Structure 1
Amino acid sequence: MKTNKNRSIEKVTQPGTPHFVGDGFRVHNFIPGTSTMQRMDPFIMLDYNSKYHFPATDKPKGVGVHPHRGFETVTIAYKGRVEHNDSAGGGGVIGEGDVQWMTAASGVLHKEFHETEWSKTGGEFQMVQLWVNLPAKDKMSAPKYQAISNSEITKITLPDHAGVVEVIAGDYKGHNGAASTFSPIHMYNVKLKKGAKTTLAFPSNYTTALLMVEGDTIVNDTTKVPQDHFVMFSNDGESFTVEAINDAVILVLSGEPINEPIAAQGPFVMNTQEELVEAFQDFNTGKFGYLEE
């Protein structure tokens, strides 16, 4: 009979000094800030905009037109509203509880701003942006866009009214997530009520991490992890426990490493330096299309 060994914590990271991406995203970087892209593969970048109040403005804040190639960008909205457009025709608005999953792949231009109407009143803003690596065979595939509204996200109620698991990607106990992925990835928002405890398990070789979006928790019965902190697990087991000290929202990430060379520079993540050079050349010669500022 196979035994399910507990997975230990490799490190807990507090949020570092925030920086602005454009003028609309005030973020703490956890990946690759806490570990290398190779160690966190397939999760190669994580910027976390912890709760921040943006004042009202008639000119929406955000990030202007910029390129991407070789990976996917995933934006998870917790507070506030973001409008997105890209040169492949993708676009839309995401609000609280929604997810935007853009496959840049062979190359897109895109821009992201606070939604115009939301900007006029301002308010509390909280988002995660994650870059998910693509296998070499898919890096030059056609761009695509998945707009995932909260109503489309599978929600599983935990026993004893402990809370809810929202399955963004992958599966939780046979319940599949809304997003399609190119490599095996599990992505959940776990919402636990005060005092509730749950056990999660993933294959031991999967890169696994938690972000405490709301509330404080105790992980593996002994380690207190405050709000806005990031937990990275070792690859020495499968299961771990999370207990909510107060009402909590936890972003759970677990994915199979792609285990291919990573060559990254700016907005491009490829496998070789030659491919990076080609990406810059293609961008500079207009092969990523056109998107109005």
Structure 2
Amino acid sequence: MTTTMMRLRQHLGLVSSPSIYTSAIARFGNNTPHRRRTTRSRTMSSSASDAAPFEKPRAVVKKVLAESQPEGQGATVRRSIGRHELRNLDPFLLLDEFTVYKPAGFPDHPHRGFETVTYMLEGAFTHQDFAGHKGTIKTGDVQWMTAGRGIVHSEMPAGDGVHKGLQLWINLSSKDKMIEPRYQELESKDISRGESEDGGVEARVIAGEALGAASPVYTRTPTMYVDFTMRPGSRLHQPVPEGWNAFVYVVDGEGVFGRETATAHYCLVLGPGDGVSVWNRSTRPLRFVLVAGQPLGEPVVQHGPFVMNSRAQIQKAMEDYYYGKNGFERAGQWSSSA
């Protein structure tokens, strides 16, 4: 490694064990609607029969407990995808369940080459970036951010109390990694909702389709993302596109996924097949997210907040950020007001 590259890595904080959110936080000096793409599927719920209407039901092939770890500035996350037991699940790079109290948060940091999906479970987060975008997402709201060629932003709690949510990182294909950044934001009231015929299962459809509801979100990397709530005793048979990688993350309660029982904070990787069956046999409501995506099948080289296809592209991203070019032109003159 050249002396110049070593200095650059030190400046970006990427020399050893980088924090994924903040490893490239460095100050310089003073320091359009989208075409809708949905996954059409037929979903049913039954409280009387556990017979799955699938030729190839998906089984749980990996079970990972998301353990707490520090992240950002004083924040705590439960990371499932992105830890050593589950480095990634093409096209998914990371899944964090975050818990933040002021003044902790995720101050100014860059991204390139992927998308972040932030879904608030409780509280509110204020986002602002170096292009002048600013807003607050509250409980039940979603922000779908395509970082593309480059964004520097901050994500900080909007008030006192606890702020919780899920953040998912979705990889972009090589042809999309350097596109212009863009946002899709949905308030809770605008998220599509579906319900089973017997009323035992409710779905909030963030991307794709479920229980007769379809999301308006455009997914550049084809993705399905649904927040399910199941009453005690209810069953769900949810189709998932064949060939897509899929996982479940349990937010609250206890459920049986295929033949595997899981409780809160467990991530379940689903094997191949055309659908998953879930049974809430407990006496409490069950809440979980089901996420699936079409694999990209491309090399993944990740260094902190940059995800590209080669080591050379990572070095180029670091240089662009350091020198303020190729998408990072405004980085050196900007800092958030958080």
Q: TM-score, normalised by structure 2?
A: 0.78
1:23 matched residue in structure 2: 73
**Structure 1 residues 3, 201: CA separation in 2 closer, same or farther (over 3 Å shift)?**
closer
After superposition, residues 240-251 of structure 1 pair within 5 angstroms as 240-244=276-280, 245=282, 246-251=284-289
The worse-fitting range, judged by mean Cα deviation, of 106-115 and 82-91 is: 82-91
2:60 matched residue in structure 1: 9
Residue 228 of structure 1 is aligned with which of 248, 262, 265? 265
Matched, 1:265 2:317: no
Alpha-carbon displacement from aligned partner over 1:75-122 (angstroms, at most 9, x marks no partner): 11101111111123333111111111111000010101000xx22xx1
Structure 2 distance, partners of 1:275, 1:42, is 18
State the superposition RMSD in angstroms: 1.8
Structure 1 residue 172 displacement after superposition: 2.5
Contact 2:248 2:290 in 1 (8 A): yes
Alpha-carbon displacement from aligned partner over 1:36-55 (angstroms, at most 9, x marks no partner): 32xx0111111112xx584x
**AA matched with 1:208:** A
Structure 2 distance, partners of 1:3, 1:95, is 37
Matched, 1:95 2:138: yes
1:74 matched residue in structure 2: 117
Structure 1 residue 140 displacement after superposition: 0.3
Structure 1 residue 4 displacement after superposition: 2.4
Alpha-carbon displacement from aligned partner over 1:116-137 (angstroms, at most 9, x marks no partner): xx22xx13x3211110000111
Matched, 1:47 2:90: no
Structure 2, unpaired ranges of 5+: 1-52
Structure 2 distance, partners of 1:135, 1:45, is 16
User: Rg bigger for which structure?
Assistant: 2
**Structure 1 residues 186, 249: CA separation in 2 closer, same or farther (over 3 Å shift)?**
same
Structure 2 distance, partners of 1:175, 1:78, is 20
- What count of residue pairs does the alignment treat as equivalent? 276
1:104 matched residue in structure 2: 147
Alpha-carbon displacement from aligned partner over 1:221-270 (angstroms, at most 9, x marks no partner): x32111111111112x1222112222121111000101111111110001
Structure 1 residue 190 displacement after superposition: 0.7
Structure 2 distance, partners of 1:192, 1:27, is 25
After superposition, residues 1-293 of structure 1 pair within 5 angstroms as 4-16=55-67, 18-23=68-73, 25-33=75-83, 34-37=85-88, 40-49=89-98, 54=101, 60-115=103-158, 118-119=159-160, 122-123=161-162, 125-172=163-210, 175-220=213-258, 222-235=259-272, 237-244=273-280, 245=282, 246-287=284-325, 288=328, 289-290=330-331, 291-293=334-336
The worse-fitting range, judged by mean Cα deviation, of 18-27 and 261-270 is: 18-27
Structure 1 distance, partners of 2:293, 2:174, is 16
**Structure 1 residues 148, 25: CA separation in 2 closer, same or farther (over 3 Å shift)?**
farther
Alpha-carbon displacement from aligned partner over 1:19-76 (angstroms, at most 9, x marks no partner): 2222353111111213232xx0111111112xx584xx5xx32111111000001111
**Structure 1 residues 173, 155: CA separation in 2 closer, same or farther (over 3 Å shift)?**
closer
Structure 2 distance, partners of 1:202, 1:21, is 32
Structure 1 distance, partners of 2:132, 2:293, is 28
Structure 1 distance, partners of 2:55, 2:184, is 34
Structure 1, unpaired ranges of 5+: none
The answer to which structure has the higher strand fraction is: 1
Contact 2:128 2:155 in 1 (8 A): yes
SS of the aligned residue for 2:247 comes to strand
Structure 1 residue 273 displacement after superposition: 1.1
2:27 matched residue in structure 1: none
Structure 1 distance, partners of 2:200, 2:54, is 26
**AA matched with 1:205:** G
Contact 1:211 1:230 in 2 (8 A): yes
Structure 1 distance, partners of 2:125, 2:216, is 20
